[in-house]
Amino acid sequence: MNPWWQDVTFWRELGPFLFGPETLASAEDDAADVLGWLELDDVADPSAVALLDAGCGVGRLTVPLAKRGYRVVGLDSVDDFRRDARRRLRSAGIAEDGTQAEIRALDVLNGLEANGSGEPITPSPLPGGFDAAFCVFALIGYHADPAADLLLVQRIFASLKPGGRFLTMTRHPDASYGKVKHTDPAGALLFEDRRFDKVSATLHTAWSLTRGGHQRAFRSQLRVYSAVDLRGLLEFCGFSRVRVLDHRGEHRLVAVATRPLAPPE
């Protein structure tokens, strides 16, 4: 049985909620925040800066960053999300030719192939030569095996130029749990039942979707990092100058780290 994050139906059915109008409306501001945290918001020539969006989804951040002139490669394993990201690039007048933006098929976690994908999956390691990479509410903590997070961060480390920065945004351990109700513009209803296991630091979520009179049920699990553990993960993988920003009121932790200019002796 495939893990939840490789369930194509999970992402297809829940995508309209995960990337709903409110989330997409904040994309420009969120892209500006990412650039600020990476200290890339005031560069003279954005076209000289290569960015890696690991787990880009529908291109929510890829598109506004490309519109600002940065060269962005977005990676995602979900066919529907990549198609939507490419459509959004075209709508923004951005050619997906590799000079300004590119969306690639890649399952970053353990190099496993994206289930049901019609495209060849880029093998490990990740593409390289990036000035910065970011992973926003994606990938980290998905896999049941904690070693997968080490492998993921090590791959991202290797994809960066010396001196390159990595930003990750994850769920805050003090975020609210319990039951949450969502609706989408088409009138579908989604209920989340979130339960946090403090022993394993794992968020278990039961999803119940009602659309067109039909019901679907899904389950997911997410490892939730504390600030100390997130710093330890990044430092263990070779990063230095790690800063963890506690955005408790916004239910998120933001960590920024740098690949050293030279390997430690």
Q: Quote the pLDDT of residue 264.
A: 60
The structure's pTM equals 0.90
Question: Where does residue 210 fall: left (phi above 0), alpha (psi -120 to 50 degrees), or beta otherwise?
Answer: beta
- Taking the C-alpha atoms of residue 146 and residue 190, their distance in angstroms, rounded to an integer, is 29
Q: Quote the pLDDT of residue 114.
A: 38
Q: Quote the pLDDT of residue 178.
A: 87
Strands 130-136 and 50-54: parallel
Evaluate if residue 247 carries a pLDDT over 90: no
Average pLDDT over residues 167-191: 88
Angle at 230 between CA 181 and CA 20, to 5 degrees: 25
SS3 content of the chain, % helix, strand, coil (to 5): 30, 30, 40
Closest CA to 175 of 254, 252, 255, 229: 252
Q: Pick the residue with more confidence: 237 or 249?
A: 237
**What CA dihedral angle connects 58, 61, 62 and 63, to 10 degrees?**
90
Which strand (E) or helix (H) includes residue 110? Answer: none
Q: Dig out the tokens for 245 from the structure.
A: 């920003």
pLDDT in tens, 70-94: 999 999 988 999 999 999 999 999 9
pLDDT in tens, 214-243: 999 999 999 999 999 999 999 999 999 999
Kindly calculate the radius of gyration of the chain based on its CA atoms and give it in whole angstroms: 18
pLDDT in tens, 142-174: 988 888 888 889 889 999 999 999 999 999 888
Is residue 230 within 8 A of residue 170, CB to CB? The reply is yes
User: What mean pLDDT, rounded, does the chain reach?
Assistant: 88
Least confident of 67-76, 101-110, 239-248, 253-262: 101-110
